[in-house]
Structure formats: structure tokens, C-alpha cells
Structure 1
Amino acid sequence: MLQNDSILTTISTARTDTIAVHSAKPQTPYEVLRLLPKDATPAQQDSAIQEWFEPKEIHYSSRPDTLHLPGQERPRDLKEVNLPHYYRENFFSNNTMYHPELSTERIGTSGTPIPYSFQNDSFVTGILIICFLLITFVLSRISDFLLRQAKHFFSTQKSEQTLTETGSEIKFQFLFLFITCLLYALLYFFYTTHFIANTFIFSSEYILLVIFSGAIISYMVIRMLLYTIVNNTFFTNKKNLQLQESLLLITSLEGVALFPLVLLMAYFQYPLQNAIIYTVTILIFAKILTFYKSYTIFFNQKGGFLQIFLYFCALEMIPLIVLWSGLLVITENLKINI
């Protein structure tokens, strides 16, 4: 009580001083609180406000609501659950602007569409993740066999030797072949969208990617068939198996070398010019290894130096040139000329 009395005394003094200075009473509680000391408690602030302001009885209007048509009964609240359906109907009931759950045509000018990017493509991301898992799984299963193949690859023995392969090892190598074809298709798709065109007659980029993959897989199958037909005609079956093992090894190593490049281009915006140089280098190195192995298996004798060039150009370079020309023709026919 003493504290409250002191506060009221202070307020009265402040009130007298305020009236003397301003000759007007505070109009808001904020002005009353400014008259109190900074350490005033909430109870003291409430007492001060009640000292200045006296609550009055609120008189609500008793006039009827006239916000409806004359002669009609008072409108009912639309929030009522049991309200009949005809109460809810009005002139705008069927307007689609009041029903966002219904499909409507967009009003206004459409903006510039976001360009396609592999970074935002979950399908391509899933393919790359699957490729990574498959490469890791296959390397964990046949890493010893690949090392033995690599050691046997540069063997200079003249005797015809082949490595014993199990059925699972052959399947894993063909799986590597498929992954390599898919990575080459992705790289060519990057090249196409950057240098040739980025709009095609298909509504989905996946169709174009499947076409490129199918063309490259067809090239690999046709090349192996040509090697098999020619080698079985002029050489023994055992030498043909030696070359097929070497070709599968070279193709598998191509896929392992190209996978980091595809990741860099898809998610880290690696310069395409550097990627082309890297891809051409890998391709040239693979052709050199193929040339070397063909020479050591079939033409490692006197007088076979000229035949190896004819053999290599007919079975390796000409199919590669046909593949590149075919991909260019396919792209030219599928792109949209603006």
C-alpha cells in the first residue's frame, strides 16, 4: 500500500506538472506510462492508467441489419453446416476463378521456358547412379580377371593363348559394353545440344537419348560381327577369341575412363571443348590398342605390315566414320529448324 500510495503521489505530482506544462490530460495509455518511472511494475502501470481513464459502459446499436433486400428476411450465415444448397448459389458460383481446384487457362503472357539441364533431370541422375553402382559392382567381381587380362594384353608370346572365362565374367564384360555405349550416347547428346540444336521433334529428350544409345549399340554389335566373319574366314577360331577378349577389355576401360567426364559435364559444367579433347584422346588411345593387338595376333610375321592397315581401316575406321555420319544424319532429320 505504501508503494502504491507513493506511485499515486508521484503520478499526481506528475499529473499536476504535466497539466501545468501542457494544460491537457494524456489522451492515450502510452502518454500515461511515460509519466511513470522506468522501474514501475505492471501493477503500478495498471493503477496509473485506471487513475487517468475510467471505463465506460459500451452501448451496442439496436438497429436492425438492413444489408439485404427490403421485404426479405435476414440473410443466413454461409458458414452454417445445415444451410440449404440454394442459399450458397449466386451469380459467381460457377466461375472457375472461385474454384482453384478446377483446371483453367492461364491468363497473361507466358514467360520464357527454363532451358533443359541434366542437373535438374532426375531420370538422367538415376541412370548415372545406376551406372556408378554397376561399375563398382562389376569391378569388385571381376577386378582380378581384368588385371590378368591387362597383363596378358601386352604379352609378346607367339603361342596362341586365351584366358579361361566363366559365364559370369563374360556377362559382366557385356554389361560394361552397354554402359560404355550409354556414356557415349550421353556425350553425343551434350555435343548435339551445344553445337547443333536444342529443340527436336520429340516432346521428351529421353527419346532422343534412346535413339543415340541404340545407334551406338548397333555400331558395337555390327563391328563385332564383322570381326567375327572376317577373322573366322582368314584366321583360326582361337585367334578370333583372343581378339574378342581384347576388344571387350578395351571397351570396358573406355567406359571406366568416360564415366568421370560425364559426371563433370552433367553437374559441374565442365567446358565442352575440353571434354571433346578428352573423349577424342580416349578414343584414339583405344584405337591404338586395338591396332596393336590386331597386329600381334594376326600379322606378326614378315610381309604383314601392309595388310594390317587394310584390315584396321576396313573393320575399325570405316564403321566408326559410318557411325559418326549416321548420328549427324539422325540429328539433322530430328531437329527443328527455326
Structure 2
Amino acid sequence: MFDTIPQISIDSVSFYLKKDVISQQSDSFSIGFSSFEHVRTDSTRLFFDIDSTAVTAAQEQLTQGFSGVQLPFSQTIQSVFFLLFALCFIVLAFWFNREGPTLVANFKNIFSGGMRSRTIFKEQITTTGVWSEVFLIFQTILISTITLFSYSWNEGLSNLPLKNAIFLFFAFFLGILVFIVLKYLIYRLIDYIFVEWGMSEWTEKYFRIVELSGLLIFIPALFFVFVPEYMRIALFSLIIIFFIIIMVVFWNLLNIFAKNKIGLLNYFLYLCAIEIVPFFMIYKGAVSLVNIAGI
């Protein structure tokens, strides 16, 4: 057969094969795509070679614990606020267990569009029911005071002496209490002067809204005071709840003015003079109290 493969002599090869020096095999391997992350193995190459120094440091860290975010209050103020929230929750559960249907019917009346729910007339007014409503109003004032105090504390009042801090807390509490009482007296005065406006119906709903406000702000205020990680979210929630309450107030007043055929001009004048201006006065008063406490 014809040989198609030419014979090549060994001496005609243009390069030489050279035995490469086998480097010593490493006892580690790479993880991922990084060139510097290695996990060493022991002599058997079956188990990891654990760094005893790192293990000891990790064990000490676990034993000592991890440092969390420090709460904005001192331990004494923090404990008192927690006890107040716990007390409100326990008393609230007790009152709802006894007067739950009546309280729910009262809250539904706020959103009834001016029509009183018939279930309210069937419920007999008892001493327990009255005290439950008094507690709900007190709870609203207390939680609002704690929230305002916490906000003021976070804004630079943490360096106040304990005496001035206690004074500021009670000043906030009395200020909110006086505000609610004065608004009630103003409503009674307007009802006495302008009988045709029918404000007697509004005074009852006014306290219902105050009671409902304390229930709505309970959980956001709890997060605002005790969970610094969610403080900003809790603050936004409180602001949203505040504006919702204001809208409910305006809507109920509009229904009363429309039902009694009072002009819209009187309605807007009433809102500006009675419902809006007092909040600016509260803001000025709060700033003045903060300045006095800072001094």
C-alpha cells in the first residue's frame, strides 16, 4: 500500500518536551471567584483547619452579647413609660370586657353621617360606662403627653435635669387637658349663643372622637417610644392618624351645619376660629414650655 504519511525523523522536531516541575499542592481551595478567600484543610484533607483564635473570639462575643441601639431615655423614664403603657392596656382590656358593645356603638356613631345608631338608645347608661369613657379620655391625654415628651426629648432636651424633665412632662399633660376642657366650654358657649347651629349634638361626638384618638395612636406611640429603629415610621403614622381625625371632625361639623341649614361662610369661619387657630396656639405654647424647661 502506498504510504501517505511521510517519515519524520526525531531529530527534525522543532521543539522539545520538557518535564514541568510539579509544584507542591496546596492544602487549601478557593471559594467563589475571589483569589484571596481560602479555607484551609488539615493534613488528612478531609476536614477544615479551624482557626482556634477566631473560634475563641466568636465564643467570647456570644458570651458577652451584642450591643443594641440605646433607647433615647434614661432607665428610670423608660421604666415609668413602660408601666404607664402596660397599665393603660390592662385597664382598657377590663373596660372593653364590661362595656365593649356600648363603646363600639358610640364609635360607630362618629361615622354615622349625623344619624345616631339605634343601638345606643337601647343601651342603658351606667356608672361603669361613664367611668370607661373618662378613662379613654385620660388615656388619650396620657399617650399624647408621652409622645410629645418623647419627641421633645429626641430633639435636644435629653440634657435636661430630671427635675426640669418632670416639669415638662406634667406641663404637657396639663396643657392637653386644658385644651380639651376649653374646647368643650367653647362648644357649650356657642350652643348657648347660636342655638340654631345645633352644637349640642356635636359636644357628645367631640368626646367620642377624643376617646377614639387614644385607641388609634396607642400602637404607633408604643413603637415611637420604645423602638428607635421604627421611630420615623411611627411618627409618620401618628401624623397620618392626626390628619384623619381632623378630617373626621370637619366632616361631622359639616353634617351638623348642613342639617341645620347654616351657610358655608359660617362653617368656614367656625373652622378657622375654633378648630384651626387653637393648634397654632398649642404649638406656640409648647415651644415656650420647651424654652422655659431648657433654661
Shorter-chain TM-score range: 0.5 to 0.7
CA drift at 1:192: 0.6
Moved more, 144-153 or 197-206: 197-206
CA drift at 1:159: 9.1
Change (3 A) 1:175 1:160: closer
CA drift at 1:218: 1.0
* Residue 127 (str. 1) matches residue 84 (str. 2): yes
* Residue 297 (str. 1) matches residue 256 (str. 2): yes
| Equivalent of 1:275 in 230, 234, 240 | 234
* Residue 232 (str. 1) matches residue 189 (str. 2): no
What is the TM-score when the length of structure 2 is the normalising length? 0.66
Measure the CA separation in 2 of the matches of 1:276 and 1:320. Answer: 18
| Equivalent of 1:260 in 219, 238, 245 | 219
Change (3 A) 1:202 1:117: closer
| Equivalent of 1:309 in 254, 257, 268 | 268
CA drift at 1:180: 0.5
CA contact (8 A) 1:180 1:251 kept: yes
Q: What is aligned with 1:5? A: none
CA drift at 1:334: 0.9
Report the 3-state secondary structure (helix = DSSP H, G, I; strand = E; otherwise coil) of the residue aligned with 1:211.
helix
Measure the CA separation in 1 of the matches of 2:115 and 2:93. Answer: 35
Measure the CA separation in 2 of the matches of 1:208 and 1:282. Answer: 24
CA drift at 1:306: 2.1
CA contact (8 A) 1:265 1:271 kept: yes
CA contact (8 A) 2:114 2:255 kept: no
CA drift at 1:119: 8.2
Q: What is aligned with 1:149? A: 106
CA contact (8 A) 1:119 1:266 kept: no
Q: What is aligned with 1:287? A: 246
Q: What is aligned with 1:140? A: 97
Q: What is aligned with 1:217? A: 177
CA contact (8 A) 1:177 1:248 kept: yes
Report the 3-state secondary structure (helix = DSSP H, G, I; strand = E; otherwise coil) of the residue aligned with 1:146.
helix
Aligned residues: 222
Change (3 A) 1:117 1:226: same
Pairing 1:322-333 to 2, within 5 Å after superposition: 322-333=281-292
Measure the CA separation in 2 of the matches of 1:168 and 1:128. Answer: 22
Measure the CA separation in 2 of the matches of 1:246 and 1:115. Answer: 37
Q: Which has the higher Rg, Structure 1 or Structure 2?
A: 1
Pairing 1:97-176 to 2, within 5 Å after superposition: 116-117=73-74, 121-156=78-113, 163-164=120-121, 165-176=125-136
* Residue 189 (str. 1) matches residue 149 (str. 2): yes
CA contact (8 A) 2:221 2:238 kept: no
CA drift at 1:268: 2.2
Change (3 A) 1:253 1:167: same
Q: C-alpha deviations, 1:116-147, integer Å up to 9, x for none? A: 33687322222111111122122223321122
Whichever structure has more helix as a proportion of its residues is 2
Percent identity, please.
Answer: 22
Gaps (5+ residues) in structure 2?
Answer: 1-70
CA drift at 1:309: 1.5
